[in-house]
Amino acid sequence: MTNAIEYREIEKSHLAPALFEDFDRRQVVTRCLRKVQGQWVVKEAPFLDQWSEKDYEFLVDCLKNTLDQGGAVYGAFMAGKLKGFASVEGKPLGTRGQYRDLTSLHVSCDQRGHGIGKQLLGLAVKWARAQGADKLYISSHSAVETQSFYESQGCVDAVEIQQEHVRREPFDRQLELDLNRYGKTGGKRG
């Protein structure tokens, strides 16, 4: 399946709402992780995650800003149509500048579970390593299936929580990915 997918960096001039015409953010969430007395527990939290036209306009502005600030945006294209994307910021985060911020990673609902997310994460890892980062920082969606994905890739709770992310998305789980270990530990990682 992934053989038919082309992965490439997206330039600023290509960023427009029309790029997302064949991308469907839809996510039917039923269960999420919530922290209760210091422990992550699964809770029923049914809702539908979907993006409006305004959300796509905002997304495009954010991705343009990522590129303006020295970050990178990657796309997964199937027959020329965007089916997944990832963005990673250029600005270092953390007390030692050890983090680069993975600000988006999304696969269209019709193509999830075929390895696209893993490939896009791999591209973000490669880019962040080349920038000299030690870790990716991820303010992640708390849905159980999203968490299973990040866990399968070796992500763990972030050591240095970035409060700006917590303020923006209080229900997100703050994760990090060790770039020195990613892809070297066998199993499904890398």
Ligand X SMILES: CC(C)(COP(=O)(O)OP(=O)(O)OC[C@H]1O[C@@H](n2cnc3c(N)ncnc32)[C@H](O)[C@@H]1OP(=O)(O)O)[C@@H](O)C(=O)NCCC(=O)NCCS
Binding site for ligand X (CB under 6 A): 27, 105-107, 112-118, 140-141, 143, 145-146, 148-149, 152, 188
Residue with the closest Cβ to ligand X? 117
Least separation, in Å, of the C-beta of 30 and ligand X? 11
Q: How far is the CB of 84 from ligand X (least distance, A)?
A: 7
Least Cβ distance, residue 39 to ligand X (angstroms):
20
Q: Shortest gap between Cβ of 7 and ligand X (angstroms)?
A: 12
In the complex with ligand X, the residue whose CB is nearer, 13 or 170, is 170
Cα(23)–Cα(81) distance, rounded to whole angstroms?
Answer: 8
Cα separation, 59 vs 56, in Å, equals 5
CA distances from 140 to 16, 68, 77 (A): 24, 23, 23
Return the number of the residue (149 or 182) whose C-beta is nearest ligand X: 149
Q: Which is nearer to ligand X, 37 or 82 (CB)?
A: 82
The CA–CA distances, whole Å, from 30 to 27, 44, 80 equal 9, 6, 32
Q: Output 34 or 118, the one with its CB closest to ligand X.
A: 118
Shortest distance, position 151 Cβ to ligand X, whole Å: 8
Residue 127 CB contacts under 8 Å (≥ 6 apart), including other chains: 72, 74, 88, 100
Q: Is 183 exposed, middle or buried (0-12, 13-18, 19+ CB in 10 A)?
A: middle
CA distance 39 to 33: 10
56 vs 149 by CB, closer to ligand X: 149
